[in-house]
Structure 1
Amino acid sequence: MNTRTLSLVKSIVKLFIGYFVCATGIVMTINANLGLAPWDVFHQGLSNVLGITIGRAHILAGLTILIISSIFKEKVGWGTVFNMLFIGIFVDFLMLHHLIPTFKSFVLSFIMMLLGMLVLGFGCYLYISVGWGSGPRDGLMIALVKKTKKSVRFIKNFQEIIAVIIGYLLGGSVGIGTVVMAITGGYFMQFAFKVTKFDVNTIQHRFIDDDIKLIKEMLVGHRKCDEKNR
């Protein structure tokens, strides 16, 4: 196995471990049963209305967001597409097999919710550091920041408030945990990045259209080489 192939395999493994860790963190916050994270309120509401699992609702919401981001001409990476699909699949796997415990104690549930946010932060580090594109929701946030010229904080808060309102109206669970996660989620992610010494500004994302251009260039080069050999 050459160096390039080995590097690709390592990136794929790291990417999918990151998705699984993210899903674990999400399920931990769900099973804490203190109110869901803002986007998960929307996912649960969607699952209630459509009669599907939360994981499938996560995938459906991600697909819709991906389409909206594409309309705003935001570039999409392979990691964005995989994020949309596999985090939802892993969430369903963990929940349907009851692999994450639940607690009747408020204290234990609260601790698990906090640990879930920390785990989610490390999961985000793992998949973002590969450089294959951010998740659909973060991609939409970036697209809206560019389009509206508003701050990241404003757009992120706006997105999550809308997600909570719609999710609540659709029957999603809102509680003290929703407020705690909305306020502290960014701090836990920042802590995970600090522990791993990860600077998100150093990442150069690779997008799908970059690979398409590379493939076209390779095909053109191969064609010219064949013509020269003739």
Structure 2
Amino acid sequence: MTIADLRPDGAVLVDLGPVAQLRAGRLLLRLPQLVIGLYLFGASLAMMVRAGVGTAPWDVLHLGLIRHLPLSLGQVVIALSFVVLLAWIPLRERPGIGTIANALLVGLSADATLLLLDAPEAMAARVALMVGGVVLCGFASALYIGAQFGRGPRDGLMTGLSRRTGWSLRAVRTALELGVVLVGILLGGVAGLGTIVYALGIGPLTQALLPWCLVRLDVED
């Protein structure tokens, strides 16, 4: 996240350490935006799970893991987030406040939403719920990224591998997501229409919405 996404007011997406993130100001706007974005991100994942027509690639792996572990979906999301963070160490990625918040809040939100949300019976309703989940995920991603508190664990893995291997972000993301889908399927997770819609739609949605959610920092690097 070192390259700028510019808005008319000059807001730029930057890469700051935890202390610099706090010193950058506008915390009364940025902190609530971070928390809301992460909560909505977890809720969007739960919507896709309840739709039952395919989930985001990493959630194929999460759902495969819960078939073998005495953990809820959210607990697996949290546990795997911290496992992924261990891979940041050799990659020399720098976690931020949002990195740790992401690791904890997304899983908690997903479990809370699953408790409240029932799976629809009609296929049309299930597809609509899945599409709504993808759109909400794009908006939630723009919110928490736009708050400028750092990358999530899985995004940091992607950027770190890209920097160390010289591969493009797109190539690394594709390889990672194909890998987690295949492992998830082997563990009993299920990919489907929602997995394809998510893979094709989440990038363009987040890119389109990010300029509207990006917070201008008082100190930009």
Q: TM-score, normalised by structure 1?
A: 0.79
- Within 5 Å, give how 1:190-205 maps onto structure 2: 190-193=207-210, 196=212, 198=214
Q: What secondary structure sits across from 1:181 in the alignment?
A: helix
Give how far 1:39 is off.
0.4
Q: What residue identity is the alignment partner of 1:57?
A: V
* Cα offsets for 1:17-59 (capped at 9, x unmatched): 1111111111111111001211000111112111210101101
Q: Does 1:56 align with 2:75?
A: yes
Match of 1:102 among 110, 115, 119: 119
Match of 1:164 among 153, 164, 181: 181
Q: What residue identity is the alignment partner of 1:43?
A: H
Give how far 1:197 is off.
6.3
Q: 1:70 to 1:184 in 2, by over 3 A?
A: same
Match of 2:91 in 1: 72
Task: Give me the whole-angstrom Cα distance separating, in 2, the residues matched to 1:204 and 1:92.
Answer: 36
- Within 5 Å, give how 1:125-144 maps onto structure 2: 125-144=142-161
Q: What secondary structure sits across from 2:55 in the alignment?
A: coil
Q: 1:108 to 1:143 in 2, by over 3 A?
A: same
Match of 2:9 in 1: none
Q: What secondary structure sits across from 2:71 in the alignment?
A: coil
Task: Give me the whole-angstrom Cα distance separating, in 2, the residues matched to 1:29 and 1:55.
Answer: 14
Give how far 1:136 is off.
0.5
Bigger Cα displacement from structure 2, 55-64 vs 42-51? 42-51
Task: Give me the whole-angstrom Cα distance separating, in 1, the residues matched to 2:220 and 2:178.
Answer: 30
* Structure 1, unaligned runs of 5 or more: 206-230
Larger radius of gyration: 1
What percentage of residue pairs aligned between the two structures are identical?
32
Q: What secondary structure sits across from 1:173 in the alignment?
A: coil
Q: 1:19 to 1:161 in 2, by over 3 A?
A: same
Q: What secondary structure sits across from 2:67 in the alignment?
A: helix
Task: State whether residues 62 and 184 of structure 2, in contact with CA within 8 Å, keep that contact through their aligned partners in structure 1.
Answer: yes
> Which protein is richer in helix relative to its size?
1
Q: 1:67 to 1:175 in 2, by over 3 A?
A: same
Q: 1:204 to 1:159 in 2, by over 3 A?
A: farther
Task: Give me the whole-angstrom Cα distance separating, in 2, the residues matched to 1:86 and 1:142.
Answer: 22
Bigger Cα displacement from structure 2, 104-113 vs 65-74? 104-113
Task: Give me the whole-angstrom Cα distance separating, in 2, the residues matched to 1:178 and 1:121.
Answer: 14
Match of 1:173 in 2: 190
Task: State whether residues 120 and 126 of structure 2, in contact with CA within 8 Å, keep that contact through their aligned partners in structure 1.
Answer: yes
- Within 5 Å, give how 1:1-230 maps onto structure 2: 7-95=26-114, 97=115, 99-193=116-210, 196=212, 198=214
Q: What secondary structure sits across from 1:103 in the alignment?
A: coil
Give how far 1:12 is off.
1.9
Task: Give me the whole-angstrom Cα distance separating, in 2, the residues matched to 1:28 and 1:139.
Answer: 25
Q: Which has the higher contact order (CA 8 A, sep 6+)?
A: 2
Task: State whether residues 93 and 160 of structure 2, in contact with CA within 8 Å, keep that contact through their aligned partners in structure 1.
Answer: yes
CA RMSD of aligned residues (A): 2.2
* Structure 2, unaligned runs of 5 or more: 1-22
Bigger Cα displacement from structure 2, 179-188 vs 134-143? 179-188
Give how far 1:198 is off.
4.3
Q: What residue identity is the alignment partner of 1:91?
A: A
